[in-house]
Structure 1
Amino acid sequence: MTLVAPLRAFGRDDLALAGGKGANLGELVRKGFPVPDGFVITTAAYDLVAGGHDTRDHFERVELPAELREAIAAGYAALGRGPVAVRSSATAEDLPGAAFAGQQDTYLNVVGEEALADAVRRCWGSLWGDRAVAYRHRLGIDPGEVRIAVVVQSMVEAETAGVLFTADPVTGDRARIVVDASSGLGEAVVSGLVTPDHYVLDAAGEVTAYTPGRREVVIRGAAGGGVVRESGAGASGERLPGEALRELARLAGEVAGHFGRPQDIEWAYAGGQVRLLQARPMTALPPPPLGRLNPVRRKLGAILLEYMPVRPYPIDMSTWVPYGPAGLMARVTGHFGIRGAFEDFLVEEEGVVYALVPPRPRPSIRMLVTPVRILRLARRHDPARWTEDPRFRAFVAATEELESRDLAALPWPELVRVPRQALDLVQPVADLRIDYLPGSGLALLRLLVSLKLLGRGKEFGDLIAGARTRTSDANQALEELAEEARLTGALDADPPPAAFAAKLRDFLAEYGHRETASPLLVTPPTWADAPETVLGLVRVLAAKPPAPAAGGDALERLLAHPRLRTAARRARMTRRVQAARAGVAFREDSHFFFTEPLPVLRRSLVEIGRRLRDAGLLQEPEDVFHLRLEELEGIDDVRTPAEPDRERLRAAVLRRAAKREEFAGVRLIDPAAIFPARPAGDALVAGTPAGGGTATGPVKVIADPAEFGRLTEGDVLVCPYTNPSWTPLFQRAAAVVVDTGGSASHAAIVAREYGIPAVMGTGEGTSVLADGQLVTVDGGTGLVSAAS
C-alpha cells in the first residue's frame, strides 16, 4: 500500500491513487516539464485515516498513524524541509467536464512538519466542505466513490505568477494563448483578488493584445510560514519580459499537445525561470471560430440553429437526430442529388455534443437528372391528395398500434426493441416527401410567377397563409380551449371544471405529440409530456378574445385585379392559389404526422430508464438520456446485468453527465457566424426584416415554452428560437423579435399572417433586451429601437 511517493512516480493513468492534480503534475514531471519537485500523499493514506467517516471535522482532528507521519516527514526532508505548497488532489477533479476548480483547499508557504501535517488534514477535510459536497451533488457524483490525495511541492516565491489558457476561453480560438499575470504569488490571480495584466499571445509568444492590470493586492510568503496580503496601491508593475512570454507560449503548446486538448495552466516566474504549478483540461471552452461562412452554409446553419435550441443528449444522437426530420431531409436532398446537406452537423466530444457546424452540401452526378425527376414526380403525385396514399395510411395504422401497447407490462426483451420499432415507422415518410415535395414546390413557384406578372408579388405570403394545416387546426383548438377557460374560470379552479378537463384531454390526444423545444430531438418533452406548456398558451389566449388574422381576404383582393375579369381567369388563379396552399399544407402536415411516433419513442426510453433505475444502474429514469440506443440494446437482462456492464453504464452516465454540465454555458455555435452584425445605428438590436410594419410595446423575454404563460396582450415577444408550438403566442403579441431564423422561417411566415412586425436572426435580442423595456419594432427595416 503506497502512502507517499515522489511526483515522478505518477502519470496520467494514476488518477485513482494520486488524484487529478497529482496525476497531471506527475505526467508533466515525467516528460521533463519545469515543475517544482514534490511528492504525493496518496488516496491510500486518505483511506487509512477515514475509518468510514465523511465529515470535515473528523479529518481535521484525526491523528496520523505513525507509518504515515514518518513517510510524510521523509518526503518533506527530501525537499529540504523548506517552505512547501500543499494542494488537494481529489479523484474527481481536473477531469474533462469536472474541473472542481476551487472546491478543495490549497495551503501555501507551509513550514515545518507539524504545519505540514495540519495542512494535509485540512486538505482531506476540504473534500467534505459544503461547496465541494454541493458541487459533486450537482454533477451527480457518488460521494462514496470520491477519494482525495494531497500534493506537496517546494514553494516557488514568485516575482510574478498567474494563469494561462492554451486557447481563448471566450472565443474558443485555439491559435491564441491568453495569459493573466500579477505580482507575487498566483493565488491573487486565481482567487480573483486582483485585476491582472492580460496578455493575448500567438503561438510564437508574440503579444497581439495587452491590457495592464491594477495589482490591488500582492500575496507573498510570510517569514515563518503562511502568506501575507500587501496593498498594491493600484500601481502597475513591469510587464513580463518577452523571453518569459515566449517560454510560456512554448510550454503552453507542448503541454496542450501532450494532453491532446487545451489546458488551463498555473505558472510562476522567479529568477528568470518559468515553473508550471498545475495543468488541467480547460472546461466550458467554446467551439473554435468557424470563420466566414458562404451563403449556403449560413442558410443551413440558420435552419439548424432554429431547430436545435438545446444541446442533444447521446440518446438523441443515436435515435431521433439521424432518423427524425434531419435524417429525413438528408434522404430527400440526397435523392435529388445533394449530398451532406443535413448530415454530420453535430460534433461530439467524449460522447457529448459539443458544437454545431453548418454542413457543406455538395452536388452529385444525380443532379443532372434532377429536373426531369422533379417534373415526373410532380405530375404523378398531387400534394392535395397525399393523405390518400396507401403508404400514409399504413404509417398511421402502424403508429396507432405501437402507441396502444402497455409499455410498463412489456418484458425487457420486447421493451428494448420498441425504440427501434418507432424509428422504423418513420422511414416511409421520407419516400412520401420525395414524391410529393416536387408538386408542392412547383405549385408555389407557379403562383409566385403568376403574381409577379400581375404586379402582386408582395401578396404571395398573405395568399399562402390561408392554407388550412394541422398547425392552424391546433391553434383553433387552443382558441376553443381558451374560450372555455374564459367562460368557466377553469385556469383558476382546482380541480378544473369537467368540461374543460375533457376538452384538454381531447386536445392532447389529437395534438399532444407536438414538440415543445425541438422537432429534431426526442429528449425534450412533448405537449402531452408537459401539459403545463399548453396551459400556458391557453392562459395567454384566454386573456382576451382573438383579433381577426390579417390577410384573410387576400384571395378576394387578388381576384379583383383588372386582368382577372373573366370567370376562366379567376378560376385558373383560384386553382393556382389552392394548389400552392395544398403544397404548404403538405409540408406542414407531413411534419405533423411524421412526429406522431415521437411520444411513444420518448415514453419507451423513459420506461427503459425507470427499469435501469430500479436495477440500481441509474439514479433517475431520465439519466437514460446519457446513454446511446445501442448501449441499451446490448443489455440482455435488466434484472441481472453483468457486473462489467453495470460499471460500464454507470461510468458512461457519470462521465457524460459531467461533460454536459461543463458545456451548460457554452453555445453550440456563435450566432454571429450565422447572423453577421448588421448596422444598427441608434437602434438597440438589428436583424433580418420579416415584415409587418411597426409596433411599440414592452419587452417580454420568453426563454422556453415553460414561460409561455408570462406573455400578456400587447407585449413584444423576444425569444431565442421558435417552432410551431410558439405560434399561438403571435395572436396576442404586438411584435416578435427572435435570435435565430430568417424571413422565410416558420415564425416570420406566421407573424406576417397575423400582421405583426417580426425581426429575425438578431443573434443577441434575448441578451440585449430586458423585460419591461419599451421598444419599437420595425419589421420593414429589421430594427428594434428604444421607444420615445
Structure 2
Amino acid sequence: MVALTSIDRALVVDLASLDRAALPVAGGKAANLGELLAAGLPVPGGFCVTTAAYRLATADTATAAAGTDPAAARAQVLTALVPAAVAAAVRGAYAALGDDVPVAVRSSATAEDLPESSFAGQQDTYLNVVGADAVVDSVRRCWASLFTDRAVAYRATAGVDPAGVAIAVVVQRMVDAAAAGVMFTADPLTGSRSRTVLDAAPGLGESVVSGAVDPDHVVADPRGRVLDYHVGRAGTAVRAVAGGGTVRVPHGAERGRCLTDAQVKELVALGERAQAHFGAPQDLEWAIDAAGGAWLTQSRPITTLFPLPEPVEVGHVYFCISLAQGLVRPMTPMGIAAARRIATAAVAGMTGRPPADPDVGPRGLVVAGGRPFADVTTPLRTAPGRVLLPRILDVMEARSAVVLRELLAGDGDPAHLLGAPAGRRSWLPFLRGVARIAVRFRVPPRMLVALVRPRSALAHVQRVRARVAPLCVVDPALAPGDHLRRAERLLDSVFPILPTVAPVAGAGFVGLGLARLLARGDLPAADVHEVLRSLPHNVTTEMDLRLWALAATLRDDPASVAALRDREPAALAAAFGRGELPGRLQAGLGAFLAEHGHRAAAEIDVGAPRWSDDPAPVLAVLAGYLRLPVEERPGTAPDVQFARGARAAEAALARVVTRVRRRSRVRAALVGFGLRRARALAGLREEHKDLLVRLLAAVRAHLGHVGADLAGRGLLAVADDVHLLDLAETAAALGGVDQRDLVARRRADHDRELRRRHVPRVLLADGTEPEAVRAPGRGTEPGTLVGSAASAGTVTAPVRVVFDPAEAAVQPGEVLVVPSTDPGWTPLFLTAGALVMEMGGSNSHGAVVAREYGIPAVVGVPGATTRLRTGQMVRVDGAAGTVTPQP
C-alpha cells in the first residue's frame, strides 16, 4: 500500500490512517471510518482510493461540464481507462488484504457524510466484490456515480458547488452478515435524543437501505433497554454469493427477531460511543457476523434533526416565538440580539427586575436553529398558564395550541415531565401580577376610554405615532459609536411604547367577546368572519390599498406600464435607486416607500432588508396588479372588493342584531354595541406591530452606518455583514476586532438554516417534537388537510406554493399556500383566490387580512407546503377549516 508520506498526493491510503482532517483527500465516509477506528470501535479493515486518484483518472475527460450534462460526464468516466498507476495502487492494496478477499466498494465524496449534508444513498455501493479486476472496475463505477441524476440534484438542493466536489472510494472487508441494518442514535422522526432507533433485517444491510424488506423496527433508550420491538414481515434478504456478487432471497411472511436484547444493547452502546466521539447524533450502518460479533460499517451525522435550544434545561418545553410571528426562516444574529434586548426591556417593565445582561436577555428566551424560542415550562406547570397559554395561541398560532393541549393531556411523550399543575391558589398571585402590570401601563382606563369614546382612542394612537416619528429619524453625521448606542436605546424604548396602543385594539376584541357571549347561537363563526371584514384603521390593509391605488394611476402611463411589463423587478429596483424610472413610477414609488418603506417580509428580523433597501418585491407586486383584467371585470378591483366587504360587514352586523332582538331588546343593544366597537377598534391590532417595525427599521439604518464604517476599515467584508454579529460583537469590532472569520462561519450556518423547510412549533429539551409523536387528524375525505377556520367561503382553484413573496408569481384566483405570513406578504392577497397557511390562528395577521379582503382562509395546516404542490386543484373551505385535493 502506498505510504502516507504525503497523504494529499497518495493514490491509496489505509483507513486507519485517516481522520476528519483528511476530508478533501478521502471524502466524508472514509474520514468518518478512520475516526471510528481511532476511537477503538469495531470497523472492518480496508483502504481508501483517494480523490487524487479520481482527479488523475478524470484529468483528460470533460467531467468539469457535469453541472450542465451529468449523463455525458458519467459516460466519459465509465468508458475511460483507469490510469496504470491508480490500477496498480488499488491492486496492491487489495492484495494486502489477502487472497481474493470479498470486499465492499463504496463511494466517499468530499460533500458526503458531512454535518450539514449527508448525501445518504446518492452515490453507488458494490457489495461482495471479489478479485482485483472487479475491485478496479467497481472503483471506476463509484467515480461515475458522482454524476448520477440524484447526486447532481441533491448537490443543487444542498447548495454545493459542483466544481469543488471530488470523490474517493472506500474498499473494506465484507462482513458475512447474519443480520444488518441501520441505527440512529436519535429518533429522526420525533427528534428525541433520548431514543435510539434501529432497523434490522436478515442478511446484508442493503435490503434495509434499499427498502427491499420490511425490517424489524426497534426503539431503545440510551442504555440499550428495548422499549419497542416490531418484527418485520415478508420481504427480500440480500445475501453474498460465493465467488462474488449478491442475490436477493425472498423470505417467508413469518420470521423471528433478527436481534436479541443483548445484541440491541451492544449496538446501542456502540452508537453511543460513536455519538460521543463525533459530538453529535449519528446515522450508522452495522452488521452482526455469523459468530455474533457486531461491526460498524458507516457513520454519518443525522442532518435532519432540528438543533437543541441553547441553553437547554432537562425536562423543559419550548415554544417557537418567530413561527408565531409568521417567520419560518431563521433570524439573523443581529435580529436575535435585538429580540433579546427588547425582551429584556419587557421583563424590566413588567416585573421591575431587569436581567443582569440586556444582551443575553431573560432566562426564558433561548435560541435553536437561528430561531428564538420561549421556555414555557414554568407557566405550563401552573393552573393559569395551562388555561391561558393555549387560549392565547388559539388566536395567534392555532396549531401550537393543539400541540400544547395534547402535551398537557399526556398524548405526547414525554408529557409527564411537566408534572401536575399547582392548585387553584396559583391563580391569586398570577392575577395580582397581571393587575400590577395593567395598572402600571394604564390598560383598564385606556380600554374603557376606547369603548366609550372610540374617536378619543384613535386620537391617542395618532399622538403615539407622532411621538415615535422623531425616534425613527437617523442622522448620518453621527459617529459610528453613537449610531450603535442610538440603536440600543431604540431597542430599549420598544416595550414602553407598545403597551400604550395595544389596549385600544384590545378594547375592540373585548367588544367582540361581549357580543359573542350575549348573542350565543345567534352569532355563528361565519358571521363573526363576515363582521370582521374590511375593518377600518388597519395600517396593513391601508398600505395594500395604497399600493393598489398607485397601480391604478400607472395604468394610463405607457412608459411606466412598459417598464413594469418588460423589465425584471431587480433591474427596476436598481433603476429606482439611480432615479431612472419613468417619472410617474419613480415619484409614486418614492411616495409609497416614504410611508411604508419600513415594511418587508421577515420584518421582525432587524437584519432583513426593508422595502426601502430593496423595493424589488413592491415592484413585482405592482407588475402583477397591472396584469389584472380590471377593465373587463371592474368589480374584482381590490378597492371595490374592500368597499363591498365593508357594506357586507355592516349588513351582517344588522342581521345578527335583528336575530338577537327576537329574544331580548337589551341583549340586542349590547350585542350591537360590542360589534360596532369591534369594527371601530379591532383593525388597530396591526398598529403596535407597525410601530415596532418602524423602530426596527431605524435600528437597521443606524447599524447600516456602523457596518459601512467597519467595512471601510477592513473589519467586515461588506456593510451588511454587521447583521451576522450581535450587539456586543459589533461593539468589539468598533474597538478594532476583525470579525470577518466569525461572519463567514455565521453566514454558513444561516444559509444552511435557510434551506430548512420544517421548524417545530413546540420542542422538548431532548429534541422531541410533540407534534411528530402523534400524527394530526385528517379530514373525512381521503387526503383532506385540516387546519383552523380563518375566513369563511369556498374556493376551488389551483395551488400556488410560495416560500418567498419576492419570488412569487401568483396568478389571479390561485390558492396561495405559504408557511406563514407577515405584512410583507399581504399584497399577494389581493390577487389570491384563497389562503392556506401552515402556521397561524384565526386572529393571526394573515387570517385577519384574508377576512378583510373576503378570501377564504385556512390556517394552522400541518405540512401544507410539502403536501400540496403548485398547480394541484384543491377545494378550500374557510368555514370548515379544510383543504381537499380535487381529481
- What is the CA distance between 1:487 and its match in structure 2? 5.3
Which residue is equivalent to 2:300? Answer: 280
- What is the CA distance between 1:279 and its match in structure 2? 1.0
1:208 counterpart (229, 232, 238): 229
Residue 468 in structure 1 maps to residue 555 in structure 2: no
TM-score (normalised: structure 2): 0.67
SS at 2:474's partner residue?
Answer: helix
- Name the CA shift for 1:22/1:479 in 2 (closer, same or farther; >3 Å): closer
| Residues 483-538 of structure 1 deviation map (CA, whole Å, 9 limit, x = unaligned) | 33555688863466754554344323322332235534633764724221454356
Residue 589 in structure 1 maps to residue 687 in structure 2: yes
**Gapped runs of 5+ residues in structure 1?**
290-296
> More deviation in 22-31 or 269-278?
22-31
The within-5 A match list for 1:483-522 is 483-484=552-553, 493-494=562-563, 498-499=583-584, 502-517=587-602, 519-520=604-605, 522=607
SS at 1:510's partner residue?
Answer: helix
Residue 248 in structure 1 maps to residue 267 in structure 2: yes
- Name the CA shift for 1:599/1:109 in 2 (closer, same or farther; >3 Å): same
Which residue is equivalent to 1:169? Answer: 188
Which residue is equivalent to 1:292? Answer: none
> More deviation in 159-168 or 489-498?
489-498
| Residues 300-346 of structure 1 deviation map (CA, whole Å, 9 limit, x = unaligned) | 76x74242442214xx2x2224425x864674466335999998566
Which residue is equivalent to 2:400? Answer: none
On the 8 A contact 1:537/1:708 being kept in 2, the answer is no
On the 8 A contact 2:178/2:202 being kept in 1, the answer is yes
- What is the CA distance between 1:686 and its match in structure 2? 3.1
Residue 433 in structure 1 maps to residue 501 in structure 2: no
The within-5 A match list for 1:177-576 is 177-182=196-201, 184-187=203-206, 189-190=208-209, 192=210, 194-203=212-221, 204-205=225-226, 207-212=228-233, 214-215=235-236, 218=238, 220-221=240-241, 223=243, 227-228=245-246, 230-232=247-249, 238-243=255-260, 244-271=263-290, 272-286=292-306, 304-313=322-331, 316=332, 318-323=333-338, 328=342, 331-332=345-346, 335-337=349-351, 347-348=367-368, 352-353=369-370, 359-360=376-377, 362=379, 366-367=433-434, 369-375=436-442, 378=445, 383-386=457-460, 389=463, 393=466, 395-402=468-475, 414=480, 421-422=486-487, 424-438=489-503, 441=506, 445=510, 449=514, 462=531, 466-484=535-553, 493-494=562-563, 498-499=583-584, 502-517=587-602, 519-520=604-605, 522-523=607-608, 526=611, 528-531=615-618, 532-536=620-624, 539=627, 542=630, 544-545=636-637, 546-547=640-641, 548-549=644-645, 550-552=648-650
On the 8 A contact 2:820/2:840 being kept in 1, the answer is yes
- What is the CA distance between 1:248 and its match in structure 2? 3.4
- Name the CA shift for 1:400/1:594 in 2 (closer, same or farther; >3 Å): same
Quick one: distance in 2 between partners of 1:16 and 1:333?
A: 49
- Name the CA shift for 1:276/1:154 in 2 (closer, same or farther; >3 Å): same
| Residues 239-294 of structure 1 deviation map (CA, whole Å, 9 limit, x = unaligned) | 553324454344334433443432111122331333211111112135799xxxxx
- What is the CA distance between 1:430 and its match in structure 2? 1.8
Which residue is equivalent to 2:858? Answer: 759
- Name the CA shift for 1:149/1:652 in 2 (closer, same or farther; >3 Å): farther
On the 8 A contact 1:205/1:249 being kept in 2, the answer is no
SS at 2:506's partner residue?
Answer: helix
| Residues 457-501 of structure 1 deviation map (CA, whole Å, 9 limit, x = unaligned) | 778873796432322321331332343355568886346675455
Counterpart code for 2:540: T
Counterpart code for 1:373: R
Quick one: distance in 2 between partners of 1:768 and 1:163?
A: 27
SS at 2:799's partner residue?
Answer: strand
- Name the CA shift for 1:148/1:617 in 2 (closer, same or farther; >3 Å): farther
| Residues 344-374 of structure 1 deviation map (CA, whole Å, 9 limit, x = unaligned) | 56643xxx43796774464888546234324
SS at 1:28's partner residue?
Answer: helix
Quick one: distance in 2 between partners of 1:376 and 1:626?
A: 37
Counterpart code for 1:312: P
Quick one: distance in 2 between partners of 1:420 and 1:196?
A: 62
What count of residue pairs does the alignment treat as equivalent? 743
On the 8 A contact 2:461/2:501 being kept in 1, the answer is no
- Name the CA shift for 1:659/1:474 in 2 (closer, same or farther; >3 Å): closer
Quick one: distance in 2 between partners of 1:425 and 1:162?
A: 56
| Residues 390-420 of structure 1 deviation map (CA, whole Å, 9 limit, x = unaligned) | x854642342335x78xxxx9xx94x98677
Which residue is equivalent to 1:33? Answer: 41
Quick one: distance in 1 between partners of 2:335 and 2:117?
A: 28
Quick one: distance in 1 between partners of 2:82 and 2:43?
A: 32
SS at 2:85's partner residue?
Answer: coil
On the 8 A contact 2:51/2:168 being kept in 1, the answer is yes
- Name the CA shift for 1:442/1:354 in 2 (closer, same or farther; >3 Å): closer
Quick one: distance in 1 between partners of 2:117 and 2:865?
A: 29
- What is the CA distance between 1:761 and its match in structure 2? 2.3
Quick one: distance in 2 between partners of 1:107 and 1:741?
A: 48
- What is the CA distance between 1:96 and its match in structure 2? 0.8
Counterpart code for 2:840: G
Quick one: distance in 2 between partners of 1:234 and 1:418?
A: 72
Quick one: distance in 2 between partners of 1:665 and 1:373?
A: 40
What is the Cα-based RMSD across aligned positions, in Å? 5.6
On the 8 A contact 2:28/2:113 being kept in 1, the answer is yes
- Name the CA shift for 1:553/1:517 in 2 (closer, same or farther; >3 Å): farther
On the 8 A contact 1:718/1:738 being kept in 2, the answer is yes
On the 8 A contact 1:696/1:787 being kept in 2, the answer is no
- What is the CA distance between 1:97 and its match in structure 2? 0.6
- Name the CA shift for 1:252/1:140 in 2 (closer, same or farther; >3 Å): same
Counterpart code for 1:536: G
SS at 2:840's partner residue?
Answer: coil
- Name the CA shift for 1:744/1:420 in 2 (closer, same or farther; >3 Å): same
On the 8 A contact 2:616/2:806 being kept in 1, the answer is no
TM-score (normalised: structure 1): 0.74
Quick one: distance in 2 between partners of 1:100 and 1:205?
A: 30
Quick one: distance in 2 between partners of 1:246 and 1:674?
A: 24
The within-5 A match list for 1:16-95 is 19-39=27-47, 61-64=82-85, 73=92, 76-77=95-96, 82-90=101-109, 92-95=111-114
Counterpart code for 2:607: V
Counterpart code for 1:21: K
